[in-house]
Amino acid sequence: MKLTNSILHSSCPAMDYLKTVVPSQLLAERGSHLVVINPGSANIRIGLAQQDTPLNVPHCIARRTTQVPKRSVQDQLLNSQVTTPQHMERERAYDIDYLKTVVPSQLLAERGSHLVVINPGSANIRIGLAQQDTPLNVPHCIARRTTQVPKRSVQDQLLNSQVTTPQHMERERAYDIIASLLKIRFLDEEVANVQFPQKMGRVDAFQPQGNNKKETVIPWTDVFEISNPSSLKTGNSSTKDESGDFPFQKDGNDRGEHSSSQRKHREYICGEEALRIAPSEPYCLRRPIRRGHLNISQHYSMQQVLEDLHAIWDWILIEKLHIPHSERNKYSAILVVPETFDNREIKEVLSIVLRDLCFSTAVVHQEGLAAVFGNGLSTACVVNIGAQVTSVICIEDGVTLPTTQITLCFGGEDLSRCLLWTQRHHQTWPPIRTDALTKPIDYLMLNRLKESFCQITEGEVEAVATVHSYEDGVPPGSHKTRLTALNVPPMGLFYPMLLVPDVYPPPPRSWFNDYEDMLDETWDFPRRTDMSDGNFPGSSGYFPMWENYPIFQTKPKKEDNIGLADAITKSILSTGRIDLQRRLFCSMQLIGGVALTAGLVPAVEERVLHAIPSHEAIDTVEVLQSRTNPTFVAWKGGAILGILDFTLQRLLFSPSAIHVLHKFITESEECLHNCCW
User: What pLDDT shows up at residue 252?
Assistant: 44
Q: Distance between alpha carbon 261 and the CA centroid of its chain, in Å? A: 44
Strand partners, 362: 333, 652
Q: Say how many C-beta atoms besides its own lie within 10 A of residue 33's C-beta.
A: 8
Q: Number of C-alpha atoms within 13 angstroms, CB side, residue 524?
A: 0
User: Does the residue 591 lie in any domain?
Assistant: no
User: What pLDDT shows up at residue 22?
Assistant: 82
User: Does the residue 194 lie in any domain?
Assistant: no
Instruction: Tell me if 295 sits within 8 A of 254, measured CB to CB.
Output: no
Strand partners, 499: none
Instruction: Tell me if 175 sits within 8 A of 498, measured CB to CB.
Output: yes
User: What pLDDT shows up at residue 458?
Assistant: 94
pTM attached to this predicted model: 0.74
Count of structural domains within the chain: 1
Residue type, 204: D
**Residue 238 backbone dihedrals phi, psi, to 5 degrees:** -100, 5
User: What pLDDT shows up at residue 93?
Assistant: 67
299: DSSP letter: T
Return the closest-CA partner of residue 329 out of 664, 551, 572, 661.
Answer: 661
Question: In whole angstroms, what is the distance from residue 123 CA to residue 101 CA?
Answer: 40
Return the closest-CA partner of residue 597 out of 467, 410, 447.
Answer: 447
User: What pLDDT shows up at residue 305?
Assistant: 95
Question: In whole angstroms, what is the distance from residue 376 CA to residue 676 CA?
Answer: 5
User: Does the residue 575 lie in any domain?
Assistant: no
Q: Say how many C-beta atoms besides its own lie within 10 A of residue 53's C-beta.
A: 7
Question: In whole angstroms, what is the distance from residue 3 CA to residue 7 CA?
Answer: 6
Return the closest-CA partner of residue 392 out of 373, 371, 376, 375.
Answer: 371
User: Does the residue 27 lie in any domain?
Assistant: yes
Question: In whole angstroms, what is the distance from residue 289 CA to residue 306 CA?
Answer: 10
Enumerate residue ranges in the chain where pLDDT < 70. Answer: 1-12, 14, 76-83, 88, 91-100, 102, 104, 157-161, 190-215, 226-262, 502-560, 645-677
What range defines the domain where residue 35 resides? 17-58
Q: Say how many C-beta atoms besides its own lie within 10 A of residue 433's C-beta.
A: 10
In Å, how far are 130, 443, 557 from 336, measured between CA atoms?
12, 26, 18
Question: In whole angstroms, what is the distance from residue 538 CA to residue 523 CA?
Answer: 16
Question: In whole angstroms, what is the distance from residue 204 CA to residue 247 CA?
Answer: 23
Question: In whole angstroms, what is the distance from residue 171 CA to residue 499 CA?
Answer: 7
Instruction: Tell me if 638 sits within 8 A of 365, measured CB to CB.
Output: yes
User: What pLDDT shows up at residue 212?
Assistant: 46
Q: Say how many C-beta atoms besides its own lie within 10 A of residue 629's C-beta.
A: 18
